Amino acid sequence: MNADRIAARTLADVRVDVKIKLAALWIALMFSYTYADILGFYAPGNLEELLSGGIAGIQMTQGVLLGSAVLMAIPTAMVFLSLALPARANRLANIIVGAVYLFVLAGTFLTGRNPAYYIFYATGKAVLIVLIVWFASKWPRHGA
């Protein structure tokens, strides 16, 4: 009887499909990008610099803005693609796009403006991207 009570109170550890894990990681990555950018507006001088047409020595041209939009549209698409693509294409897309985003993240350090809050968010983004690549590379196989 006592064993039945213990079993009734034990929480079930539900297996989460790798597709859902990947989609959730892409969502978390997008939130991290968004919050880091919003927080950057509060750093002294950043908002004024942005309003004058640039930030960190980068002029905000239509091309730069379009590039930034594309850069953020890809993780948005990866949320859906992580759920919709067949396993083989899904695995490959997540590994490739994740690796590209890791290089993009590393490139952001070249601006030389890396305050503590940015390093904190960049570290978190790096962890999320590594998890994306890791979960995709460890995709479960039939019969394993």
Name residue, tokens 């460890």.
138
Q: Are 102 and 122 in contact (CB under 8 A)?
A: no
CA distances from 30 to 34, 75, 129 (A): 6, 7, 11
Residues 6+ apart with CB under 8 A from 54: 60
Q: Are 100 and 14 in contact (CB under 8 A)?
A: no
> pLDDT for 69-128, tens place per residue?
999 999 999 999 999 999 999 999 999 999 999 999 998 888 777 889 989 999 999 999
Does 143 have pLDDT greater than 70? no
Does 40 have pLDDT greater than 60? yes
Does 144 have pLDDT greater than 60? no
User: Taking Cα atoms as reference points, which of 32, 25, 35, 28 lies closest to residue 105?
Assistant: 32
> pLDDT for 22-37, tens place per residue?
999 999 999 999 999 8
Give the pLDDT score at 75: 96
Name residue, tokens 């993780």.
75
What band does 46 get if pLDDT is binned at 50, 70 and 90?
A: confident
